[in-house]
Structure 1
Amino acid sequence: MTNNNILLTGATGGIGQAFSQLLFSSGANLVLVGRNQAKLTQLKAELLASNPEAKNSVVSFVVDILQPAQRAHLIAQLALLPFEVNVLINNAGVSQFKLFEQASESEISHIMTTNTIAPMQLTQALLPLLKQCDKAQIINIGSTYGSIGFPGYTAYCASKFALRGFSQTLSRELADSNIRVKYLAPRATQTSLNSSEVEKLNSELNSAVDSAETVAKALLTLIMQSSEERYIGWPEKLFVRINQLFPSLVSQSIIKQLPIIKKYANSSSG
């Protein structure tokens, strides 16, 4: 990992912090991007406490990637770094557990912009720099719900379906370049961002829930390997494949869970 100089968005989130810690301990140089200065400062301090001699290996920027001017400023700052960014990890994102008819227009717009449009725009802005590297990677953090539509997560699923489509298409578009585009699809993950309703739903449905550290290990594997997609968890991997081939079978299974899903979705919305 010593040759990887990684720009990570959403660095201070539950999964983002786990990503930061594992990537740093593996020898990567990090550009941490987030919206909260205090959390970024704390995360950077925690990383350097484990290896004070690597003080030049971690930099942080307070950036709202939804804002074009802030994205442009970030790109300009990258040219001043002591290392050349060659890996972009689009991790920043939001989720929402709510019935679609109860979601506001602004909520839907925010989810789509944060999870799909902003990562696309940041990627586009960074492409000229990545093309200057010998080898580069773009890794989009998606979800199992980017392949399986699940009630209560309509807007979120739509945003991750779109992110997966973006990843696949850009990968093919850049196949003759030095840039590889990859997609990581975690399943349910335990973070402080999960609402109590989501935790209750996962418990009642007996859904497997991974730790953020488990997802971070999968990310590290994806960076090091040549594969372009990695799905985390069984039977989720199987459900993704079945949903591609026989979606009605997955629909039947999910519809049986619908009363439980709506019970907690209504509670979440109320």
Structure 2
Amino acid sequence: MLVDSHCHLDFPDFAEERDDVVARALDVGVARMVTICTRVRQFDAVRAIAETYDPVYCSVGTHPHNAAEELDVTTEHLVRMAEHPKVVAIGEAGLDYFYDHSPREAQQQSLRVHIAAARETGLPLVIHSRDADDDMIAILTEEMGKGAFPALLHCFSSGRALALAGIDLGLYVSFSGILTFKKSEELRAIAAELPRDRLLVETDAPYLAPVPNRGKRNEPSFVAHTAKVLAETVGATEEEIGAVTTENFFRLFSKVPRV
């Protein structure tokens, strides 16, 4: 059994065949999928997908690209929407200094709002971090000092320092298809160093399809390829890494019913 801890089934890429995409995932043993919200203003569409498919759950939150658009979203808003039984996470929120689609101050403000919601609800914060390692470490360390909250560094492609800081703070780390890319030796070295009980796998579909499907539209069924490479990276069998990452998922995403 596997879990795709992060995909975007509400994106237009899946509009014409969402039923088939979910069915293909189930056929290869992907028993749970979490479709991730990137704009609170579009949460209703994300929630509707989770309500439509029993194995699919969702989050509520604002991606850092959209932070400036949704600075009126408060912790109270997020907490209230997270009461829905299918909402199992907060985010994705974080810092993206590679694109800087929103001012960095807006991204940081939004991130802290989401952290407060994760702390209050006990739901895991799904963290997006790109080219922002130092600020992310500083904010997470400061905020964790105010009170613990569950979280994971999703689609991890940052440096070793952020990975180890996250582990020290009690976070989980999720790997996507990037782990399978030929030039990802450094990323695989980081993955090999992390404790197995903090590892998750994801697709971030429709983006970042893993080898051997690189260049194609990604989908939840492809998470098996990432899990295979993660197993090779940490010296485990595919069955072992499937069991470990699935157990880690249910421990972190504790609102999701176990299979």
Kindly name which structure, 1 or 2, has the bigger radius of gyration based on alpha carbons: 1
- When normalised by structure 2's length, the TM-score is 0.39
- When normalised by structure 1's length, the TM-score is 0.37
